[in-house]
Amino acid sequence: MCGRLAVGAPASFGAGVLGAYLIEFKRTYPDLILDVALTDSFVDVIAERLDVVIRMGTINDDRLIVRKLGMMERRLAATPDYLDRMGRPRLPQDLAEHDYLLYAHVTTRDIVPLTGPGGEKAEVRIRPTMCSNNSLLNQQALLSGIGIGLGHKVILDPLVAQERLEYVLPDWHYAPHHVHAVYPSNRFIPLKVRRFVDGFTEHLAAMGAFIDDKKSAYIQGNGAGLVKSDD
């Protein structure tokens, strides 16, 4: 295959997950020119002339073909140094006493909704110490040890394994993210796009990036009770 393939994705997801696959894809198709745009801002796929964009969450745009790739788990984390200094939260309500790194595109804003090991629900009003609309900056702040933050487990796992980060409230789960590939509906889907999306789906599955429907339903389902904190 040859020509140009224009790809878009969120910043930290693109750098932490998509990047390795892009290199692999380029090696497989050396005559293909990759044009990659990584941004956390909304991108108009058609206006920007992108062939395919990886998007998270719910998508309502009848101009686009939306292909669901899977669901990715999200977790809270912090550096061991931060937790040594500030203490390790044992209950969701403890988050209200901690510095929190808020990602501006999270729809729940300053409320952290969690599902516990018994299906119980908790909604905690957190205290943002920093709010950013850039996921790479949030990750940098997280690694600097200035607060607790939310991230995709597939990105956090290597950092936890390296002991650069530690999971916070590991038995409590944040709602998973739906991951989609989207492309304009007014065009024939080229072979290069189909190959890219098929390969990326397999790449994510091989990484263990997706959670199954049963676990997703458990995390998002109705719990035994709701514990709220407005502190």
Encode pLDDT of 13-63 as tens digits. Answer: 888 889 899 999 999 999 999 999 998 888 888 888 999 999 888 787 888
Q: Is the pTM of this model over 0.85?
A: no
CA distances in angstroms from 82 to 87, 112, 144, 149, listed in the order given: 8, 19, 9, 12
- Taking only Cα atoms into account, the Rg of the chain, rounded to an integer number of angstroms, comes to 19
Can you tell me whether residue 141 is helix, strand or coil? helix
Mind listing the domains of the chain with CATH numbers? Answer: 3-71+176-216 (3.40.190.10), 72-175 (3.40.190.290)
Encode pLDDT of 135-194 as tens digits. Answer: 889 999 999 999 999 999 989 999 999 999 999 999 999 988 889 999 988 768 889 999
Give one word for 54, left, alpha or beta, with left for phi > 0 and alpha for psi -120 to 50: beta
